[in-house]
Structure 1
C-alpha cells in the first residue's frame, strides 16, 4: 500500500534526523582508510564520536547542529501554523546564537558550520539586522533546514519555493547555492505530494516553471530537441537565471537506470560526485543514492554514511528523499527507537503533515 501524505511527511523529516544522527560519529573522514580503521568495514547503526574527532562528547543517536536548527524551524512551523520568518529569526536570536562563540568547534552538536559562523558574526558581533547577515558559504547548511518547508508546503509549490528561497537567504546569499537549495526543496516537495522520483521528475518541475509556479528562468521548450518558439521571455525579479538545478535530478536518475553506468559499491558515489561540503557535490550524490535505492531507506542512508567526507549532509539529504518516497514505515525501528527526541519529532512531523494537507 502506498504511503499516505502524513506518512510521507513524517518519513521525510524523520529520515533527515536519522541521517544526521547516523553520521555523527564518522563525520568528516576524508581518509577512508582511517574511517574503516576507526569504525570497521561497514557502519550500520548509530555510533558515538571518538574523543579526538568532531562532535566529541555526544552520544550515539544524538543530532548534530543541523538537527538542532531543523528542530527550531519545525517548532516554529508547528507553533505558528506555517512559516513566520520573524518567529524563526527570534528563535535563532534567543535559543541558538547565545550558545555560540563564533568558533568552529563549539555550539549545539559540537560543531558550527561556516555559514552559521558568518551569520553569527554579522548578527551578534556587528549587530546587523536580519536580511544583511548572509554569507557566501557554498554548503548545504540551508538545505538541511528548508526541507521542513518543503514538507509543510508540498501542496503549495509556489509558496514552497518562495519560503525556501527567503529562508536560505537568511544565511547564504550566493545565487547558485540558493538555486540548488530551492531545487532540492522542490524535488522533496514533489515526493511528499506522492510523485515518483524518476527520469520525468525534472519535466514535471519544469512544467511548473512554465506555469509560473517556480522562480526559475526557463530557456527551453517542452520538446526535448525543439528550440523555444518566439523571443526568449524576459527574466523577472527574484528569478534564478537558469533551470539547471531542476534538470540535474532526472539526469542522475537516468544514470541509476543505465546498465552501462556502474558505481560499485554505491557508497563510492561520494568519490564520483565529490566528498566535500559544497552543494555541487552533495545534491548529486543524494539524488543518486535516493534514486538507486528507491524502496530501501536503510541501504541508501548507510551508503551515504559509509562514503566518508561530508557524510552527515549527504545522509541527511538522502534520508529526507528516501523517507518521503517510502513513508515513515520505510525507516527501520532500530533507527527510530534510539533517535534523540524521536517521539516528539514524529508527533510534530504529523502535525506539519496535517497543516500541509489543509
Structure 2
C-alpha cells in the first residue's frame, strides 16, 4: 500500500507478528491435516483455544506463545535502552524467562519451550556457562521470531540492524546458515518498513547494500548479477556470510508468484511445497511466497500461513510481520487487534518502539 507512513509500517510489522503468533496458538504443530480439520474445521479464520493434550494447552484464544513472550522481552529492552544492549537482553532472559522454565518442553510462559531455548537454559542454568558459550546448532526459527524487534527499531540503519541481529541470533543459535537467513529476512523486513516493494527487484536493492558494505554478505558478481569484470579490480566484498544467497531468495520466489504458469492453489499449500517442519529453511521460503501472494491483504496472508499446518505459528508470525509492514497498522483488520488478550500492552509497545521513526 502506498502513502503509508514509515512509523505506521513499523507498528504494523510488530503488531502483525504478535497477531500471527497468537493465531497459531491453538492449531500449532498439526502435521496430520486431517487431525487439524477434526479439531478446528477445514478453515481456521480466528484465534482458537488449544485442545487438551496439545501444545500450549491451558492457554486461551488470543494469548501469545513463548515466542511472543520473548519478542516482548527484546522489544522492552530496545525501548528501555534506546537501542540494542546484549547484556540487558540476556539479563532479561535470566531473570524473566529462565526463572519460569525448567528445561522441559511443556513449561513456562506460552505453555511450550522451543528447542534452542531449552538447550540454552540447560547450558546457562544447569551448566553455569556464560552467555557467550551457550549458542546451539538448532536450525529452528526462535531467533528470527524475536529479532523482528531489532529489524523494526533499526529500519533506517541497515548496517547497525545487521550487526545487532547477528549478535542477538548468536545468543541462542550459532549456525552460520541460520544467522545468514535471519539477517537477510531482517533486511527484507526493514526495507519493507522503509517503503520498498516486495517484488523481484528487492534482492537487487539488497545486493546494492552489500556492495556499500551495509550488509555483511560475501559477493563476487558485478552489477545485475553479472560475472566479475575481467581485468577490473573491484573493492573487496567479503562478508561474514559466505554468500549472498539468502538475500536472493525473495527475487526468485516473487518471480514465481508473478509467473502465471506457476500455481500453488490454494496458497496455504505452500507449506506442502516448502515443507511443514520447524527448520528456518522450510519456514522462510513459504513466508516469502505468502507475502508475495498477498502484499495488500493481511487477513488472507496470515490465514493461509495458519491453515498450512506444521509449524504454522512461526509461518503466521513472520508473514504477519512482512505483510503488516506493507499495509501498516491501519491495514490490519481491527478484529485481529481486538482479539489479542493483551491488546493494549502490545499497542503501547508498538508505539514506544517506533517513536523515533
- TM-score, scaled to structure 2: 0.97
Paired position in structure 1 for 2:204? 203
> Retained in 2: the 8 A contact 1:49–1:59?
yes
SS at structure 2 position matched to 1:98: coil
Q: Aligned pair 1:148/2:149, yes or no?
A: yes
Distance 2:37 2:233 in 1: 56
SS at structure 2 position matched to 1:99: coil
Stretch moving more, 220-229 or 239-248: 220-229
Distance 2:352 2:22 in 1: 22
Paired position in structure 1 for 2:38? 37
Paired position in structure 2 for 1:64? 65
Q: Deviations over 1:161-196 (max 9, x none)?
A: 000000000000000000001100000000111111
- TM-superposed CA distance for 1:228, in Å, is 4.4
Paired position in structure 1 for 2:105? 104
- TM-superposed CA distance for 1:223, in Å, is 2.8
Q: What is the number of equivalent residue pairs in this alignment? A: 355
- TM-superposed CA distance for 1:219, in Å, is 2.0
Paired position in structure 2 for 1:167? 168
- TM-superposed CA distance for 1:96, in Å, is 0.5
> Retained in 1: the 8 A contact 2:136–2:172?
yes
Q: Aligned pair 1:286/2:293, yes or no?
A: no
> Retained in 2: the 8 A contact 1:219–1:228?
no
Q: Aligned pair 1:326/2:335, yes or no?
A: no
Name the CA shift for 1:132/1:249 in 2 (closer, same or farther; >3 Å): same
Moved over 3 A (4+): 224-236
Q: Aligned pair 1:221/2:216, yes or no?
A: no
Distance 1:64 1:158 in 2: 30
Distance 1:262 1:232 in 2: 41
Q: Aligned pair 1:127/2:128, yes or no?
A: yes
Q: Deviations over 1:115-171 (max 9, x none)?
A: 001111111111111111110000111000001000000000000000000000000
Distance 2:234 2:45 in 1: 51
SS at structure 2 position matched to 1:348: helix
> Retained in 2: the 8 A contact 1:134–1:172?
yes
> Retained in 1: the 8 A contact 2:220–2:227?
no
- TM-superposed CA distance for 1:232, in Å, is 7.8
Paired position in structure 2 for 1:113? 114
Paired position in structure 1 for 2:213? 212
Q: Aligned pair 1:85/2:124, yes or no?
A: no
SS at structure 2 position matched to 1:223: helix
Distance 1:251 1:88 in 2: 35
Q: Deviations over 1:75-108 (max 9, x none)?
A: 1111111111111111110011011101111111
The root-mean-square deviation of aligned C-alpha atoms, in Å, is 1.3
Distance 2:308 2:228 in 1: 40
Name the CA shift for 1:136/1:233 in 2 (closer, same or farther; >3 Å): farther
- TM-superposed CA distance for 1:327, in Å, is 0.2
Question: Which blocks of at least 5 consecutive residues in structure 1 are unaligned?
Answer: none
> Retained in 1: the 8 A contact 2:193–2:325?
yes
Q: Aligned pair 1:26/2:30, yes or no?
A: no
Distance 1:186 1:124 in 2: 33
Paired position in structure 2 for 1:266? 267
> Retained in 2: the 8 A contact 1:152–1:353?
yes
Distance 1:108 1:294 in 2: 32
